[in-house]
Amino acid sequence: MRLAFLAPALALTLAASVAQAQMVYIPTTPTIRLLPTNGTSFAETTGARGSVTTAPDRPIATVSALSMFALGFENGDHKFRRIQVLPNGASARFALNDLGDDDPFTARARWVNIVGGSAHSVTANSGGGVIAQVAITAAPANHTFVLRGFEFRRAAGTDANIRAMSINLAPAGDMLEITLVDDERLDLRPRRAVGRSGPDVGRRYTVVVQYAWVPNTAIAARGTITGSERGRDTARVPAGLAAIQGFSFNFGNSDHHLLTAAIDLNDDGGSAKFQDNNLDDPMRYEVRYVTLHGPT
C-alpha cells in the first residue's frame, strides 16, 4: 500500500524533471540602431603652395558633408585665380592661388561623415557675367542636398580681383546656381543663362562642385545664417553637427584682392570671412545649412 502512495508522487517528480530539462534559454539579440552620422574628419595644411593633398585625422567617407573651411594667404592678399576644397578619396585637396601658384597659404576643413546616401560631382565652365545654372543628379525620394567640396579656377596664366562668389541649390532642386564675379564689366547684375558664350559673359572660369544626397532621417533642422564684415546677424546655427548646403560672398563696394575665405558652422553660432588685407570693406555673406542627428 505504501508503494501505491509513492507512485503518483514519483511520477510528478519525474514529469517536473523532464519539463525542466526541456527548457532551453535562448538569448535575445538586441536591436541595433545605426546612427545616421559617423563622426567627423578634419584636415589642415600650412605653408602650402599650388594644390596639395593632405591626410585628415580620419578618412573622409564617400558620403560626407562640408561643415567648415578656411583658406588664407600667409603673405598678404592677392589677385584670385583658384580656390579648392575637395575630398580626394579619403584625403583632402586644397589650393589658394593667384597667377603664380607659388604663394604660401594655410587651409583647413572639416567634414561630417554620413551613413547612407550617394555622392556626386559636376564640372562646368561659365563666365562672370551670368549666373551659371548647372544641372545635377536628381534627388532620390526623401533625400537632402549637402555640399561636399568645391573648386573655382580661372584659366591658367590669368588672375583678377574678386567681387562675389556663390554656390547654391536652385529652388527647384534640379540644378546649382553659381557665380564668380569681378568688376570686369560695368553691368554687375549677373544674368541667368545656360551655355552662353561670347564676349559679354565676362571672365571665364571652371567650377567643380562635389555634393551628396543624404537621407532625410539624418536631418534634424534646416536654416540660414547671414552676416557682414562686422559679424553674424541675429540668427545662429544650433549646437551640434551641421553641414553646408550653399553659400554666397559679396563685396559691397567693388572687387578686391583676396586674403581669406572661410565658413565655420560651429564657431559660436556660425561665422564667415571674405576679405582682403583691410577689414573695413562692406561685405555680405549668406550660408544655408542643415543640422544632423548623431554624436557631436
pLDDT confidence tier of residue 48, bands split at 50, 70 and 90: very high
Q: Does any domain span residue 18? A: no
- Note whether residue 249 is domain-resident: yes
Provide the phi-psi class of 36: left if phi over 0, else alpha when psi is between -120 and 50, else beta. alpha
pLDDT > 70: percent of the chain: 82
DSSP assignment of 149-213, as one string?
EEEEEEPTT--B-BSEEEEEE-TTSSEEEEEEE-SSSS----EEESS--SGGG-SEEEEEEEEEE
CA distance 203 to 184: 7
Q: In three state form, how does the secondary structure of 210-250 look?
A: EEEEEEHHHEEEEEEEEEECCEECCCCCCCCCEEEEEEEEE
pTM for this entry: 0.84
End-to-end CA distance of the chain: 78
pLDDT tens readout for residues 233-292: 989 999 999 999 999 999 999 999 999 999 999 999 999 999 999 988 999 999 999 999
C-alpha radius of gyration, the chain, whole number? 28
Contact (CB, 8 A) for 75 and 104 = yes
- Bigger pLDDT: 30 vs 139: 139
pLDDT higher than threshold 90 for residue 91: yes
**Separation of alpha carbons 122 and 34, rounded Å:** 30
Look up residue 117 and give its three cell numbers.
546616401
Please indicate, yes or no, if residue 3 is contained in any of the structural domains: no
6 falls within a domain: no
**Residue 20 in domain:** no
Residue 229 has pLDDT above 60, yes or no: yes
Return the C-alpha torsion angle 120, 123, 126, 132, nearest 10. -10
Handedness of CA 271, 273, 279, 280 (dihedral sign): negative
User: Which tens digits make up the pLDDT trace of 210-226?
Assistant: 999 999 999 999 999 99
**Is residue 139 in a domain?**
yes
CATH number at residue 90: 2.60.120
Q: Which of 167, 125, 123 shows the shortest CA–CA distance to 146?
A: 167
Could you tell me if residue 154 is inside a domain?
A: yes
How sure is the predictor about 232, in pLDDT bands with cuts at 50, 70 and 90? Answer: very high
Residue 24 lies in a domain: no
- Given a cut of 50, whether residue 199 has pLDDT beyond it is no
Residue with the bigger pLDDT between 9 and 184: it is 184
How many structural domains does the chain have? 1
Owning domain of residue 111? 37-292
